[in-house]
Amino acid sequence: MTISQLVTHSGGFHADELLSSVILMRLFPKAELIRSRDEAWTKPGEDRIVYDVGGDFDARAQIFDHHQRPNPLRTDGRPYSSFGLIWAQYGRDYLRAMDVPEHDINAIHDKFEQDFVVPVDLLDNGAVNASEAGPLFSGMTLPVLLESLKPVFDDRDEGADDRAFMAALPVARAFVEAQINHKAAKFRAEAMVMTAIELAGEAHVLELPMGMPFRSSIEKAKADHLLFVIHPRGTDWALTTIRVGDDTFDNRADLPAAWAGLTNAALKTASGVSGAKFCHNGRFIAVAESREAVLEMADIAVAEALAGSLG
């Protein structure tokens, strides 16, 4: 197979397409990694693999998205993210590229699937709350992951521990610095969100100038009337829900069920909004072409949410 392009979506990233890229870049090291939402890139092609974008799952066509409706499910009903789809298709080849003995490949493939891939998939789809996951995520805490960078037991080469330590340092440093930067950014975001809440008054939709952390500030302001948030996202606009807590996927209100997993023409028909572009299967984010279109979608979502609360 000659693959020259690995295509995933642009903008903010999640663990599933990041981890998918790790797998694919090992298998196709000469391929160009392209991050785009342009349909010219996200449609299937013989020389490309498309993942976490494109609105379709077809392993033969080398497209691995999970946001469409119906979304791809395992035989036990648990949902795939793009990482799970990529692992199912390419995981064994990846293990071979890692020089795993052939007689161990199936067992290691399945063990990694259950211990690492499934948790990522469930979290990405909002199918489980991290606080309720218990032992499912015990092997994915930061200390465990960092300690997994130690040499394996039978690497007895002189200096193996020192080399592993030095290789792990930039990984650990990246996590520490990212945590500090994100905490500092939350304080900057709080001031911006508080100003936006004041401007919103009694409206049920909060408009922000960009994507940013907002839930803790909304709680601090006791703005219980707010149900949704809108903000620009590149050339588009996003409509997002407001979670009721940091460790849950439950929201104050969900986006309309009729929108779930739809894109472009199908979503425009379902919503009645000409500028509607995308709604996640989990109904926690939708995207529109313009501010006017996203406001129209927000009004519909608010009306449905309020009607549901009265019903």
Whether residue 101 is preceded by a cis peptide bond, meaning omega within 30 degrees of 0, is no
| Same-domain check for residues 191 and 260 | yes
Domain for residue 188, yes or no?
yes
Mean pLDDT over residues 69-86, rounded?
95
Could you tell me the residue range of the domain that residue 286 belongs to? Answer: 181-310
Q: Which of 96, 113, 128 is the last residue of a domain?
A: 128
The pLDDT of residue 130: 66
CATH code where residue 226 lies: 3.10.310
Domain count, the chain: 2
Global pTM reads 0.69
More confident residue, 13 or 226: 226
Domain for residue 24, yes or no?
yes
| Same-domain check for residues 222 and 295 | yes
Domain for residue 141, yes or no?
no
Say if CB 208 and CB 193 are below 8 A apart: yes
Q: What is the C-alpha to C-alpha distance for residues 59 and 50, in angstroms, rounded to an integer?
A: 10
| Same-domain check for residues 104 and 200 | no
Say if CB 16 and CB 120 are below 8 A apart: yes
Cα dist. 99→20, 21, 93, 105, 117 in Å?
Answer: 19, 19, 10, 10, 20
The per-residue pLDDT for range 251-304, each reduced to its tens digit, is 999 999 999 999 999 999 999 999 999 999 999 999 999 999 999 999 999 999
Mean pLDDT over residues 42-70, rounded?
96
| Same-domain check for residues 98 and 32 | yes
Check whether 140 has a pLDDT greater than 80: no
Domain for residue 276, yes or no?
yes
